Structure 1
Amino acid sequence: ADAAAQIADARKRGFRIVSALQDEGRDKVLLYKAVDQLRECLDTIINNPGSRRILFHGWNCAELDAIALPACHLLYQFLPNAATREISLCLYIRSNDIGLGAPFNMAEAAALLHLVGRLTGYTPRWFSYFIGDAHIYENHLD
């Protein structure tokens, strides 16, 4: 297909043109597509609750080099049970300050599970919390 047709197809699929340039005498465009991961999770829970890919990532990998530190909360996976209309959530944390970060992360994820349950008609069931590197800072012991 020619370039114009490829660009038109990409735009139909939700990509937008960020910039246009010319390289070696050929017109080129830079395309970008934002993905609403939470919306995709909600839609999949409603339309395909048996999917094992109902998850979203806490990082925008395209921007990791522009931020001071990547988020500790990394991966959220929803596990709906269509037969019982219950939903569970698994959260993976790459690095967790047990005294300060863990309570906030647990409360945030539990609230998210309840919100997703309410939006999709499921009752919250289990919340599993996985920590890659758990630590307590000495100044938090006092």
Structure 2
Amino acid sequence: MNDPATDDTSYLGLVRRILSGGEPREARNGATFSVFAPDPLRFDLSAGQLPMLTTKKVSFKNVFYELVWFLQGRTDVRWLHEKGVHIWDGNAVTHGSPNLGPIYGKQFRASGPKEIDQIARCLASIRANPYGRRHVVSLWNPSELDEMALPPCHGLVIQFFVRTNGMLDLHMYQRSADVMIGLPYNITSYSLLLLMMAHCTELRPGHLTMSLGDAHIYAVHAPTANVQVERVPNPFPQIRIKDGVRRDDPSTFEIEDFVLADYAHHGTLTYTFVV
């Protein structure tokens, strides 16, 4: 298995593989170049790094508020608008409502007819039986897929693993990865989730592993992707939780709880958003 990354290198390798050998396909929302089940992406958070791409700018604010939106069980984009985040607006327009149905937030905190709080259950499992094999959250709920504005692309299986050295690892399976727009957000979002869950369980963040199903680049993104892969990556930025911050549930974090430093990124690249 590939070594855990501390910069954009493994991500850029995936982009190059798709650009050079991806299968041309006509998908639901446009032409893509796709590969299936590429080598997992692995990232190392153990020295305080936050995996956030440097070959283009990624908005920490957008990633943070989207993740907290999920973790608070929210599904209405109007809360995101209050935070100045508009990344779900296209789905709201297509869905015909600012409430996107039982998407990620609903599945995290009130899944299925019994409204199971999967985050609370997972936290309790890690605390009570750290070396157990059931620290699992699954956002793929077949009984509610038809009511969703978008079925979950990521988080179909999220599994945590507590090492005997006190580190917490996370492995996530993603069925569909929009490599140029969505995947950079997913990398940082699941890294931040790992950091939050480790803090809430008094563990230290270790490795994030992301297994992808259909990893694709939209044909309209390919010219800009060719520009991005020529950029030389910088080390990932550093992140820490401020001294004195105590959180028992990741949904209670505030953006001011974090200090992000040394984010040296290249200039912004514009990729057309595809809904």
Pair in the same fold by TM > 0.5: yes
- Letter of the aligned partner of 1:99 in structure 2? M
Matched, 1:88 2:134: no
Question: How do 1:63-74 and structure 2 match up within 5 A?
Answer: 63-73=144-154, 74=156
Q: CA deviation at 1:134?
A: 0.4
SS at match of 1:63: helix
Question: Which 4+ runs in 1 deviate beyond 6 A?
Answer: none
Q: Which residue of 2 aligns with 1:47?
A: 128
Secondary structure in 2 matching 1:90: strand
Shift of residue 52 of structure 1? Answer: 0.7
CA distance in 1, matches of 2:176, 2:114: 29
Q: May I ask how many residue pairs the two structures share in their alignment?
A: 110
Cα distance in 2 for residues equivalent to 1:59 and 1:141: 30
* CA deviations over 1:108-142 (Å, ceiling 9, x no partner): 10000000000001101110010011000011123
Write the letter of the residue equivalent to 1:121: E
Residues 47-126 of structure 1 aligned to structure 2 (within 5 Å): 47-73=128-154, 74-81=156-163, 83-126=164-207
Q: Distance in 2 between matches of 1:127 and 1:133?
A: 19
TM-score normalised according to structure 1 size? 0.73
RMSD (CA atoms): 1.2
Cα separation, 1, equivalents of 2:207 and 2:150: 29
Identity %: 38
Identify which of 115, 126, 130 aligns with 1:34.
115
Q: TM-score, normalised by structure 2?
A: 0.39
What is the SS of the residue equivalent to 2:195?
helix
Shift of 1:58: 1.6
Cα offset for 1:97? 0.8
Distance 1:117 1:67 in 2: 30
Would you say 1:135 and 2:210 are equivalent positions?
A: no
- In 1, distance between residues paired with 2:121 and 2:148? 25
Letter in 2 for 1:98: V
Q: Greater strand share, 1 or 2?
A: 1
Cα offset for 1:71? 1.0
**Structure 2 counterpart of 1:59, one-letter code:** W
State how far apart, in whole Å, the 2-side matches of 1:91 and 1:60 are: 16
Q: Deviations over 1:26-61 (max 9, x none)?
A: xxxxxx411000111111111001111111012333
Could you give the per-residue CA deviations for residues 2-47 of structure 1, whole angstroms, max 9, x where no partner exists? xxxxxxxxxxxxxxxxxxxxxxxxxxxxxx4110001111111110
Partner in structure 2 of residue 5 of structure 1: none
The residue matched to 1:135 in structure 2 has which SS? strand
**Alpha-carbon distance in structure 2 between the residues aligned to 1:34 and 1:55:** 16
Stretches of structure 1 that go unaligned for 5 or more consecutive residues are 1-31
